[in-house]
Amino acid sequence: MEEKLREYARLLVEVGINIQKGQNLILASPVECAPFARMCAQAAYAAGCREVIMNWRDDVLSREKFLHAADDVFDTVPEWNRRFYNDYAQEGAAYLAISASDPENLKGVDQDRIVRSQRSGSEALKPFYRLQMANGFPWCIASIPIPSWAEKVFPGCPDAVERLWEAIFQSVRITGDGKAVERWQEHLRLLEERRDKLNALRFASLRYRNSLGTDLTIRLPEGHLWATGGGETPKGQKFIANMPTEEIFTAPLRDGVDGVVVSSMPLCQDGNIIDKFSFVVKKGRIEEARAEVGQEALEAAISLDEGARYFGEVALVPYDSPISNQKILYYNTLFDENASCHLAFGEAYNECVEGGQNMDKEELKALGLNDSIAHVDFMVGTADLSIVGTTHDGREVPVFDHGNFVL
């Protein structure tokens, strides 16, 4: 176990963010994950990191704040917090986030407080988020188990944490033999080969259909590009934004999405679970949103701004993939989105259009990319999902059949 943990820490530092000598590292972690966070810090210093700056989080205190803090707290962001995120991002510091929380930590919290907190935070930290979406600094999100999360994934199991550890190790290709880096390099190469096939086809649109009721047509922008989880900063520093990653993604045309899309898995959003939900979409805009579980949380998520009612990402993940084949519902989007084709409402990634990383927001909007302070992935892939691409000359090309790539 010790060998696997240290291999995982090195993988996140040396491949996930690809720390450079003399570079600062912002390491965000729940307090419950402190032992592993220390391993990551040690790995970073061993690789030549200038300084590791810790940013601790705590589920319990977060819930207490949303329940009991003064109401005006959720409309303001302290200057020190702005400077912390924005200044380090602008200098190009690396950012490693350990994602582990109780999926229902904020259940019962006033949704208005959550929305206002997100709005004020997004406005105050706009330079950080803009640079992150444009790959302006290397960043990586990864996870380790905590008891509250593990018990949700494996209810009633006395060894829930151990089982979740093994599932995570499998998903990030850690076996304890020290060869995870080589396995990741081969995995990224295969994703890039498929990405190149999609880019060569230059689809005008995609049509999604399955037995859940999804029947959705998605037009793609002129000059759109498909990308993988492997990113690169303007200075050429390669990184992997999500570990694990199985997706190939692009951006839809903002006003080019029409039809009905039905979720295939629960969505854990802002400490709440949203399940069995669907959207009716007209000219790109979500006109109806219905959920059997978490209706209020769903409405809050798409109300952050007008752009939250439009789509910013189209991601392809085969149903027959390593994470999907575990048959585990993680209640954590980092994993669940890599077990299923997914869409995201909200902001589009700059890299999904030719020359996008050098464009400002107005230029990207002119090309049809969505702009929002939100970016929420939700899963739509199923074993019977069909996706057919249509080229600009009207040729139809099957992309997915029975949930898997046929390209």
Structure confidence by residue, pLDDT tens digits, 156-193: 999 999 999 999 999 999 998 889 999 999 999 999 99
CATH superfamily, with its number, for domain 2-171: Thermophilic metalloprotease (M29) (3.40.1830.10)
Kindly provide the residue ranges of all beta strands, DSSP E only, lying in 236-361, ordered along the sequence: 238-240, 248-250, 257-262, 267-269, 272-282, 285-293, 311-316, 342-346
For residues 93 and 136, the answer to whether their CB atoms sit within 8 Å is: no
- For the chain, which residues make up each domain, given as ranges? 2-171, 199-229+240-405
Taking the C-alpha atoms of residue 152 and residue 164, their distance in angstroms, rounded to an integer, is 10
Taking the C-alpha atoms of residue 386 and residue 67, their distance in angstroms, rounded to an integer, is 44
Q: What is the DSSP secondary-structure string of 98-137?
A: E----TTTTTTS-HHHHHHHHHHHHHHTHHHHHHHHTT-S
Average pLDDT taken over every residue of the chain? 96
Classified as helix, coil or strand, 63 is: helix
Q: What residues have CB less than 8 Å from 223, skipping those under 6 apart? A: 353, 354, 355, 367
CA distances from 141 to 99, 238, 318 (A): 7, 15, 21
Q: Which two tokens stand for residue 4?
A: 């696997």
Structure confidence by residue, pLDDT tens digits, 61-104: 999 999 999 999 999 999 999 999 999 999 999 999 999 999 99
The widest CA-to-CA distance across the chain, in whole angstroms, is 59
For residues 261 and 279, the answer to whether their CB atoms sit within 8 Å is: yes
Mean pLDDT per segment of 10 residues, for the chain of length 407 residues? 94 96 98 97 98 97 98 96 97 97 95 96 95 95 96 96 97 92 93 96 97 98 94 94 96 98 96 97 98 97 96 96 93 94 96 89 94 96 97 96 94
Is the pTM for the entire model greater than 0.95?
no
CA distances from 58 to 94, 268, 308 (A): 22, 17, 27
